[in-house]
Amino acid sequence: MRKRKIFISVLILISGSLLLGGCTLPFLSKSASLQILSSPRATVMLNNKIVGETPFFNAKIKPNNYNLKLVPVGQGDNILPYQTQLNLKNGLKAALNWNFGASLASSSGYLMTQEAIANRKKAVLMIISEPSGATVKLDGQDIGTTPIQKEDLAPKQYNIEIKAPGYRAEEIVANVEAGYKLVIKVKLGQGGENLQLGELTASSSATPTPAQEIKKVEVLKTPTGWLRVRSAAGLSGKELTKIHPGEKYPFFDKKNGWYQIEYTKGKKGWVSGSYVREVTKTKETQKQPAPTTSLSVTPTPTSPANE
């Protein structure tokens, strides 16, 4: 009887130490987590039930097979919804980043899933792409073509680039942790750049030239009531300042789902595309004596984002 009490006490102490140390016991987890980002903002549906809008996060989703559907907000029938099947298991962490394009072929994104493995000292990374045979770089070094699996990686944050001829490259920053296998399924968008609907520019000025679009972004509501402006396009960028919902700023570039804005005259920084939306302001240009006007779609790259 005394030995049995000692065994139970030791077990309780071990379990408590693991939990207090920030570790979890995979067999105790009874739920999955799901994070979804999209550009533009979208309604999130699981098994035909609306559960929210992007950016979306639920840390306690019942393990099950789900039909996930993302419907762009305020886009009418101009952009096709995105659908996929998710198999969420106990303890699984899943994160989806999706870029709606002018067509399914030009749309792009990736799904990351993280699952515990038996070897708690091992870090594993697997990358699958559509199309297959894409070149993969890990921290700037070529490691092969998809599908590819790298084992015994040093646990840390990696910069991953996936590219294929005729498709836009996808750049991902991901943490590969010891004791886990990270699987990244990437869908590359066709074309050199992603076509944004409604973005037209004039070539060969007419009399008068069409109204010129001044590109701006408006800050959306955020959980904190403000949005960080960073020195680089990613979470690793240094915080430069904070801006607030409802404010509008001109933007000059997009990268990995981040927007480069001018937050004050002469100073630029990057903000997460998940918490801003594009707005335009027209400005008439001077009349010029050209006889005709032709309009062409201006391609601009987009990518999933996070603050």
Determine the length of the chain. Answer: 307
Distances (CA, A) of 134 to 160, 171, 194: 12, 13, 18
Continuous segment of H or E residues that includes residue 304: none
CA 279/CA 218 separation, integer angstroms? 7
CA 275/CA 245 separation, integer angstroms? 9
Which DSSP letter does residue 17 get? H
Domain at 198-299, CATH from 2.30.30.40, 3.40.50.300, 2.60.40.650, 3.90.550.10: 2.30.30.40
- Name the β-bridge partners of 254: 259
C-alpha 227, offset from chain centre: 17
Distances (CA, A) of 5 to 1, 9, 10, 11: 6, 6, 9, 10
pTM greater than the 0.75 cutoff: no
SS3 273: helix
* Contact yes or no for 75/40 (Cβ under 8 A): yes
Instruction: State both tokens at 247.
Output: 């404010």
Tens digit of pLDDT at every position of the chain (307 positions): 444 443 334 333 333 333 333 333 343 457 888 999 988 888 999 999 999 999 899 988 889 899 999 988 876 666 788 899 988 888 888 899 998 887 888 888 999 998 888 888 889 999 999 999 999 999 999 999 999 999 888 888 899 999 999 998 898 988 888 889 999 999 998 875 433 333 222 223 333 444 445 788 899 988 888 899 998 888 878 889 999 998 999 988 888 788 899 888 888 999 998 888 888 654 444 433 333 222 222 233 333 334 5
b (16+ CB within 10 A) / e for 126-156: bbbbeeeebbbbbeeeeeeebebebeebeee
Q: Are strands 93-99 and 32-39 parallel, antiparallel or unpaired?
A: parallel
Instruction: State both tokens at 244.
Output: 């607030």
- The residue ranges of every structural domain in the chain are 28-187, 198-299
* Contact yes or no for 73/43 (Cβ under 8 A): yes
